[in-house]
Each structure stands twice: as structure tokens, then as C-alpha cells.
Amino acid sequence: MSGSNGTAPEPPLRPTDGHRRRTYPRFVLLVVLAIVAVVVGLSPLIGSVFIPPMTVLRILWGIPNPCVGTSASATLCSNWDEIIWQARVPEIGLAVIAGAALGISGATLQGVFRNPLADPFLLGISSGGTIGAAIVFDFHVGQAAPDLFLPLFAFIGAIATGLVILGVALSRYGSVETLLLTGVALASLLSAVLALLLLYNPAGSEQVSFWLLGGLGTASWTVDGIAMGVLLVTGTLLCLFGRELNLMQLGGDVARSAGVDVRRVRVWLILLASLMTGVAVAFTGIIGFVGLVSPHVVRRVAGTDYRYVLPGSAVVGAAFLLGARDVSLLVFPSSVLPIGIFTAFFGAPFFIYLLFRRRPTSTMGTL
């Protein structure tokens, strides 16, 4: 009887530019992946010590450094092998791993909380890690093996905060709004606790504030190995939740009516995202903006399908952190500046640019 078959089609509510919606997420992801590969390939050339590019490539290729020249320059270049293999490559590895971990956990949390601002910081997960680190610095815990205890305590702090949020999620007050506000309140509470810790015992405050800006200084093959293991397992698990996150963007009830066990999925996602953040925070300290910006970049270029946003955010996050490392070393080659300064320095303006380059048809993208 009725129906729009016979009537003139209604004009769309908002003008749409046809080229924009056709996103080819798989193609875009391949391109981004290729860019990351190139950046990874070039990154060993950059470091605080200048090593001729051809020498770097030769060393990477497995050809022993000939180290020819005068005796003075020979002693100078004799440790280039070690610099490349024991410092630069693990550092690059850690940048890629931590960036990927932060990117994918940011994407997950934005999806779970249906909020474009959600990231490990907003929810206090990172702050939990800071408290763990502050305890180590302030109370000189485990001085016998600081390389073990600092990441361990940071990890425990992050996970503990994640578990508190998870507890709220499991209670019958576990609406998205309650969860988000719980996280925000926790973050404030934890920063107050941190301030108290530093006032009470200022001994470790310098280390803590350095740690608060993040860095790749802890990188080693062991660290990379552990972090990579967690990233692979957790990241793979997270990427299996793309469909669920897509449906959850329509609201918990709609997702449930379509068959998503929303409570169970939420618990899993918060747990896995906390694990991811915990690992990143444990080894690199607090590195801001990677978790917040990366998912937004992916949504712009590859669309909003979480089956692509999740792995895409990992790739973009890796590129972002590695790029920040490279830029920081190019600009200030002689000093090791905290990398968090650079991610914020580039991340914040870029994020604002993204917001103002309005794309009218995605609420998630435009806040």
C-alpha cells in the first residue's frame, strides 16, 4: 500500500560526499602497515650516536663491522655492533610493541565505553601504574633487582585499577556511564594518592616525574620478548571482539537483543585492555596520546568497523610511538628526552586538527 516506492525519495538529512564513505579498510591497513615497515627499517639509522647509514645497514645485514681507520676512530666504532643490536633494535622493538599496545587498548576502551575520550589515562589505568612505580621509587622497594620490580609494580598498579573498574562492571550498577565515571573518579583519586606519596617522601620525586613522561630506556631483548608475548596473545584475543564492539556501539540493549553477551564481553575487554596498558606502562612509563589519537586516525582513514579499528589502532599506535622516538632523536640527538613529551607535542595538535577537520557523519570521530 504505502511506502516510498511510489513517492519521491526523501533528500538525505545531510549532504554526503560519495567518495568519502567508500572506505577500503583492508587496503588502507596494508598501506599503513607498509609505512610502518619503512619507518621500522629506517629507524636504526637514527640514534644519539652517529653511525654511517651504510654501516648500520651492513651491521643489520649481519656483516661484521670492519671498523677501519686510525686506532682512535677504531675504538670509537668498535662498539657500533653492540649499539645497533643491544640498544637501537630493542628500543625500536619496544616502541613498536608499546605503541601497538597503547593503540589497541585505546580503541578497545573507546568502544566499550562508547566514548571518544576513553583511553587508559581517562580511566585511571595508567595512574594505577604510576602509583606502583612511585611506591618502588619512594620506598626503595626491591633495590636488589630494580629492573624487575619497577615494571612488576607498575603492572600490578595498572591491573589493580582495571580490576576495580571490572568489579563495577560486574555489579548490577554496571552501566556504561557508571563505569566511565568510576574510572574518571579513580584517576583523580590516584593522582591525589600520588601527590601525597611524593609530598610524604620526596626522595623519589625526580625519578617519578621522569617516569611520568615515559621513555624507552628500559628496552632490552628480554623486555621486548616479554612485552611481545603479552601483545601477541592479548592483541589477538582483542581482535576477535570486533563484531561485538560494532554491535555495542548501538547500545547495550540492542547488542544483547542481537546475541551479544554484553556483560561478559565488557569484562573480557576491560581485562584485556588493562593487561595491554599494564605491559606498556610497566616498561615505558606513561606515554600519553597514543591510545587516544590512534583509534581516531584509523576511523578517519579506514572507517568505523571495529574489526579493522582494533588491529589498525595497533599499527597506527606503533607508527606513532616509533615516529616520536625518531623525531626526538633527530631534533635532540645528544640528549635522551622523555618520549611522552614528543607524543603529547605532536599528538595534541594533531588531535585538535582531526576534530576541526569536521567529518559530519561520525559522532565518534567528531566528539
Angle at 131 between CA 127 and CA 132, to 5 degrees: 115
**Is residue 8 near other proteins by the rule CB under 8 A?**
no
* Distances from the Cα of 99 to the Cα of 60, 278, 291, 304, 366, angstroms: 23, 13, 8, 20, 23
Place of cell 602497515: 33
DSSP conformation letters of 100-150: HHHHHHHHHHHHHTT-TT-STTTTTHHHHHHHHHHHHHHHTTTTT-HHHHH
**Is residue 363 near other proteins by the rule CB under 8 A?**
yes
**Is residue 258 near other proteins by the rule CB under 8 A?**
yes
The x, y and z cell numbers of residue 79, run together, are 662498539
Q: Please state, in angstroms and rounded to a whole number, the distance separating the CA atoms of residues 330 and 113.
A: 38
**Is residue 331 near other proteins by the rule CB under 8 A?**
no
Which residue in 42, 79, 152, 256 binds other proteins (CB under 8 A)? 256
Which residue in 240, 330, 337, 352 binds other proteins (CB under 8 A)? 240
SS (H, E, C) 15-47: CCCHHHHCCCHHHHHHHHHHHHHHHHHHHHHCC
**Of 50-58, 188-196, 246-254, 340-348: span binding other proteins (CB under 8 A):** 246-254
**Is residue 191 near other proteins by the rule CB under 8 A?**
no
**Is residue 294 near other proteins by the rule CB under 8 A?**
no
Q: Please state, in angstroms and rounded to a whole number, the distance separating the CA atoms of residues 346 and 289.
A: 9
**Is residue 296 near other proteins by the rule CB under 8 A?**
no
Cβ 215 to other proteins shortest distance, Å: 35
**Is residue 5 near other proteins by the rule CB under 8 A?**
yes
**Is residue 72 near other proteins by the rule CB under 8 A?**
no
**Of 26-34, 38-46, 259-267, 325-333: span binding other proteins (CB under 8 A):** 259-267
Site string for other proteins, 102-131 (x = CB under 8 A): ------------x-----------------
Q: Which is nearer to other proteins, 244 or 326 (CB)?
A: 244
Cβ 4 to other proteins shortest distance, Å: 5
Cβ 118 to other proteins shortest distance, Å: 13
SS3 82: helix
Angle at 297 between CA 331 and CA 22, to 5 degrees: 140
**Is residue 13 near other proteins by the rule CB under 8 A?**
yes
**Is residue 3 near other proteins by the rule CB under 8 A?**
yes
**Is residue 172 near other proteins by the rule CB under 8 A?**
no
Q: Which is nearer to other proteins, 281 or 309 (CB)?
A: 309
CB half-sphere exposure, 254, CA atoms < 13 A: 8
Which residue in 72, 144, 145, 253 binds other proteins (CB under 8 A)? 253
Q: Please state, in angstroms and rounded to a whole number, the distance separating the CA atoms of residues 314 and 105.
A: 8
Q: Total binding residues for other proteins by CB under 8 A?
A: 41
Burial annotation 106-143 (CB, 10 A radius, 16+ → b, else e): bbbbbbbbbbbebbbbbbbbbbbbbbbbbbbbbeeeee
* CB-CB contact of 284 with 94 (8 Å): yes
* Distances from the Cα of 355 to the Cα of 16, 56, 237, 301, angstroms: 18, 40, 30, 14
DSSP 7: S
**Is residue 16 near other proteins by the rule CB under 8 A?**
yes
**Of 128-136, 167-175, 177-185, 249-257: span binding other proteins (CB under 8 A):** 249-257
* Distances from the Cα of 94 to the Cα of 114, 211, 217, 228, angstroms: 29, 16, 9, 8
Which residue in 55, 304, 313, 343 binds other proteins (CB under 8 A)? 304
**Of 88-96, 281-289, 299-307, 347-355: span binding other proteins (CB under 8 A):** 299-307
**Is residue 246 near other proteins by the rule CB under 8 A?**
yes
Cβ 177 to other proteins shortest distance, Å: 15
SS3 224: helix
Residues of this chain that interact with other proteins (CB under 8 A) are 1-5, 7, 9-14, 16, 21-22, 114, 240-241, 243-244, 246-247, 249-251, 253-254, 256-262, 299, 304-305, 361-364
